[in-house]
Amino acid sequence: MRHCLPFFLLLSAIVQLSGCAAYRNYDEEMQQTIDQMAKGDLNEALYVLKVNNPWEDKDLLYYLERGAILSAGTALPKSQEAWRTAEQMIIQREDAVPSAPMKLLTRFGNEMGTMLVNDKLLRYEGYDYEKVMLTTEMALNQLADNDFDGARADIKKTHERETLIARQRERQYEEAEEQAKQQGIKLHYKDLQGYPVAVLDAPQVIELKNGYQSAFSHYLAGFTYEALGERTLAAPGYRQAIELRPGVPFLESALRNLDKPGPDDDESEVLIVVQSGFAPARSSVQVPIPVRLNENLTIVAPISFPVMLPDTLTPPLTHIVVDGKQQKLTMINSVTDMAMRTLRDDMPQIISRAMFRANMAAIGQAEKNQRDPSKASLVVTDPDPFEEADTRTWRTLPDKTLVARLRLKKGLHRVRFPYEGAEGGLTVRVGQSHQLLSLRVFLYQGFFIGSSWLFPETPAAAVMAPD
């Protein structure tokens, strides 16, 4: 029972609780925004996002979501502004090095707050894959406007962030393993009764090298360096993409073709990038955790764990039509798989915190049994309103990234994708030696992003209103 805890521990948890915002139902809020996006009304989606974030000091997620909506509406300068703000928030938190006493106090407060209540008490820092995809999406914005130099800078940040995350992750895993040993925790996520273990053990999840490196990010780096004439830098990008997603002919051909002549003066090497669907939602599921208090007494406590819910509404996309000819699309990135792998890797730490809460709940029930033996129970009987998994995550981040690459004559071309209501397609102007065409698709809505598309034909819903 929470009220049996020493006052200073409760105070520590309360200090971490930054107002009602910490207990908002983020998944429900974002579903309202996504519903508007699925209807093709990006302006209304942006309005709903603002309504659900009324406080003056907006958090990291607000700027992540805002940037994605604006990017889909090809309001790229505003999108970059929102994402630059998010990037600065991430950098400031990474660079913040408190003094030793303050660092100890902050860590103690965070750990006790999450152990006593749940992970929603922590300030949202962003998952590793979200940080990597942020700078990738920023580079994609730049390339959609033919700014290869600007994209190069964001690609460099992506590589630097991957290196930083790799170091942090190694340290976190060591700490989690040591903590589990100290606490004597032997529980594994596969032992959680009623938890959807199969999704975390899916082959495409296990095959990932980690949860934060993206084959698309590295392929995009290779294409950018190639366009800038830096082929010696392009090769490592393509090689890394192949290492992260082996056996994909599309990726292998990019590396192989680096030794071949580039496009003629009247030609363009065109990379078509289609990003479809939404990143998976996070939900909360309660699992019964048996807590052995002594040799004769085991009490079961219902404890919440996060689960991922993939986007199943956006139909699969297999090809795109250019000048009346089908071009096969190759999927080289799945944020759903990255999110699943991240959750799988995070489960030891999540279980460690959950076991602490389960023990406290079981002890509280044991004390209640002693006070009133006639109502004794081996299951925690008082529901805890705070026992819920953290459901915050960047929802408007595109899920699947599909690509096609072809050589086109410079000039006007017609591009469409095979969705109902999108048969007419759109005209694109190709005029660079290397050019990227960006499309954003969700449900049956398609949005053509960047300065290459001839926007007078663009559906009205795709044009963002001033705000």
What does the DSSP assignment read for 148-190? HHHHHHHHHHHHHHHHHHHHHHHHHHHHHHHHHHHHT----GG
Let me know: does 288 contact 300? Beta carbons within 8 Å: yes
The neighbour count for residue 283, using CB atoms within 10 Å, is 15
Return contacts of 152-155, CB within 8 angstroms, 24+ apart. Answer: 152/224, 152/225, 152/228, 155/217, 155/220, 155/221, 155/224
* CA distances to 24, 177, 412 from 36, in Å: 20, 43, 32
* Per-residue confidence (pLDDT) for residue 173, from 0 to 100: 63
The neighbour count for residue 461, using CB atoms within 10 Å, is 16
Say whether 22 sits in a helix, a strand or coil.
helix
Give residue 422's identity as a one-letter amino acid code.
A
CA atoms within 13 A on the CB side of 367: 12
Q: What is the Cα–Cα distance from 304 to 289, expressed in whole angstroms?
A: 10
Cβ neighbors of 245 (< 8 A, separation 6 or more) are 215, 251, 332
**CA Rg, the chain, in Å?**
25
Q: What is the Cα–Cα distance from 155 to 224, expressed in whole angstroms?
A: 9
Sheet of strand 319-322: strand arrangement: 325-328, 319-322, 411-416, 426-430
Q: What is the Cα–Cα distance from 358 to 311, expressed in whole angstroms?
A: 31
* CA distances to 6, 228, 229 from 261, in Å: 73, 15, 12
Q: What is the Cα–Cα distance from 234 to 226, expressed in whole angstroms?
A: 5
**Beta pairing partners, 439:** 274, 448
Estimate the crossing angle of helix 148-183 against helix 335-371, to 10 degrees: 30
Q: What is the Cα–Cα distance from 4 to 14, expressed in whole angstroms?
A: 15
pTM score: 0.88
Spans of the chain below 70 pLDDT: 1-23, 97-119, 172-186, 420-424, 455-467
Please state whether 59 falls in left (phi above 0), alpha (psi between -120 and 50) or beta: beta
* Per-residue confidence (pLDDT) for residue 446, from 0 to 100: 86
* Per-residue confidence (pLDDT) for residue 89, from 0 to 100: 96
Q: What is the Cα–Cα distance from 449 to 340, expressed in whole angstroms?
A: 28
**Beta pairing partners, 415:** 322, 426
Q: What is the Cα–Cα distance from 290 to 301, expressed in whole angstroms?
A: 6
| Strand 319-322, strand 330-334: pairing | unpaired
DSSP state of 20: G
* Per-residue confidence (pLDDT) for residue 42, from 0 to 100: 96
Let me know: does 372 contact 244? Beta carbons within 8 Å: no
Could you list the beta-strand ranges (E) of 232-280.
Answer: 267-276
> Could you tell me the domains of the chain?
2-462 (1.25.40.10)
Q: What is the Cα–Cα distance from 251 to 314, expressed in whole angstroms?
A: 25
Instruction: Report the sign of the C-alpha dihedral through residues 223, 329, 338, 191, in that order.
Output: negative
